[in-house]
Structure 1
Amino acid sequence: MKSPTPYDAIILGAGGAGLMCAGIAAQRGKRVLVIDHAPEPGKKILISGGGRCNFTNLGAAPDRYLSANPHFAKSALARYTGQDFLELVVRHRIAWHEKTLGQLFCDGSARQIVRLLLDEADGAEIALGSPIRDVSYADGQFGVTFGDRTASAPALVIATGGPAIPKLGATGFAYDLARKFGLKVVEPRPALVPLTLGADEALFRELSGVATPVVARCGKVAFAEAALFTHRGLSGPAILQISSYWKHGASVGIDFLPGADPGWALAAKRTRPRATLRSLIGGHLPDRLAEALGARIALPGDLASLTDRALGAVEARLSDWRFTPNGSEGFAKAEVTAGGISTAGLSSQTMSARHLPGLYAIGEAVDVTGWLGGYNFQWAWASGVAAGRSL
């Protein structure tokens, strides 16, 4: 085999973080090689946001990220903000709009974001469709064998993401490589993922396709967005958000009437004494959902026939209806991976390994996971920039 081709940095992974890192480093005059086993770059970007890419969130503060070290993301996010990426989008003349809650999308196609990243990384060499056969380290140099080639560099960036959405080629390769070079890994798990319900809650699975605004709670965390019933359990933005905090055995509380004033059922008893509980609930919720909740509560007769105590219990239950999921739909349906390469071994300033100069980890491969709504892309950009400036 030929002698290794020398580079200043080798980046493993042509996703958002890897391409961002490559662009920053190449613009600083570094000779950069990006390697990816996929035949095209940015595959997760292309499917995000319904094909329009929710490319950042203007509210991307550190408290909206999960990590074993909640302070780790502060430095990178502060030095490269959602506004910074938006300015890049504008500079590339990509039309955009704000949807809700600070979420920014392309007016056109997610391919515009991939093109932006490739244009920014114009000075880097990108090798696609190139499975990595071996990665080694000796005498201050990393060696990477891919296809029939070998490359070497004093810097190696792990940007291959996590195992979420395996149909796109996602794997746990980043974790294997991290462990090989002495970095610890926080147990990876699916995040931003639908939750499944057991047989005892099969009634709700029959509501597949029904959605309604709710407040979903797990522990001390709550999200006010829509919930969607599926043939396997619960989904929708509120559930995807809460899933990142949910652990096996824990329950999820759903407030089905988040805008209702305290005492609403008792007030209705005075103004509409002949109304049934079913009709009362039906005025606020989709018919099929109101029917199912009414059947579970099972209080017959009109409101006048019900005691104040019974109606108070109805209010309490509808404001905190408890589900105990038996699992999730796993990495196949998860939007991202929680956990990953431990931040304990990384510099929050540069994303480099503390014990091995020249080794970096960025993006979803790292134990930093954002909320739904552009937060994870912002982490990809920010962590990629942090590493790219350090290479």
Structure 2
Amino acid sequence: MGYADESVEGPVEPDQETEPVLQALHTIEAAPRGAAGDAALRIGSSLDVQDVVGRYGRAVILDKLSLSIRPGEFLTLLGPSGSGKSTLLAMIAGFMPVDEGRILVDGKPVQDVPAHKRGFGMVFQNYALFPHMTVTQNIAFPMHMAGVDRLSISRRVDEVLQILRLGDHAHKLPTQLSGGQQQRVAIGRAIALRPRVVLMDEPLSALDRRLRESTLVEIRELHRQLGMTIVFVTHDQGEALALSDRIAVLDAGRIVQLGTPAQLYREPANHFVAKFVGESNLLDVEVIERRGELARVRDAAGFEFEAGVATPSIGRGPAKLLVRPERVSLVSPQTPGALPAHVTDAVFLGEILRVDLRLASGAHLQMRTLDGAHARVPSIGDEVHVAWAQADTWVLA
């Protein structure tokens, strides 16, 4: 007996809005063994946000924002509170009106289409499960509403339960589940119909660290298996780096940088992105010479060194120098480019050793390194020398 034998409501007739989703569902169901993955890769839709403006009263929350998301892409909207990321997701979902601009799915405008007719899967921060329904019934509900036949529902629910490791909890109510299990049910309900687009609004924020890490792995694997377009909202840069094909960093209603996790981490466009994505050392320097993509800079203590240039607008004058903590090394005083430093703190974090330093310029610097089995942990007050490679530093506006 399939799990979907737990009745919710009788199936309804599919309408024009659910028909494309059902066609995609049947395409995957009909695919021969070994071809299902290829079929799944084709169900993700493209999303285009064109000059969208969003307002709350007189306040502009989104300022002519444009963004193109490729079919099957995992794109994260990353930014601090008030940056506009949740507003943008709500507009894509249809929960908020678009004051200006257009939102297109596979080239067709949807900004005037009601949310329930867009055919998107949605995962909320607070799970939003039906408390009187079992796990099976929660997952099956959108398929019942779309008019999917009972045999297909049973097969799909079994598949989702297996993928999300929820088989042992199939007949439990949400109140009998842990927070992590409830979130997996919410994800299962969102993907059950194989929607072309899945929207996730900070779905991991209510989970503890261990559950968050395990759920990250599950979401990443789901995306690889199913090929849906996923738009994921978070303020947690670790989640963004771990999950995304690309990340759009938002600030004050605008995208300040769009790129792969590696691009944002290694080549941030400005000091806002550098501070928000990963741990950063940002040192005040003076650009004294610019040569193509390199600049020679001087710190307040008079030490000079070279660094890459992140933006074409960088010229002579005050700037910020970015060097990531893991790129800083303790070296001997004779090492070319070595800077004298004073240890202000040293913390053993298991596999990581974090050392806080103060340079001769007065600037504070953090170093992170893998803990060696016989490495000496520097003591507070030690005088040391540090260095980094020119390729690991960037001058930012």
State TM-score, norm by structure 2.
0.26
Q: Which has the higher strand share?
A: 2
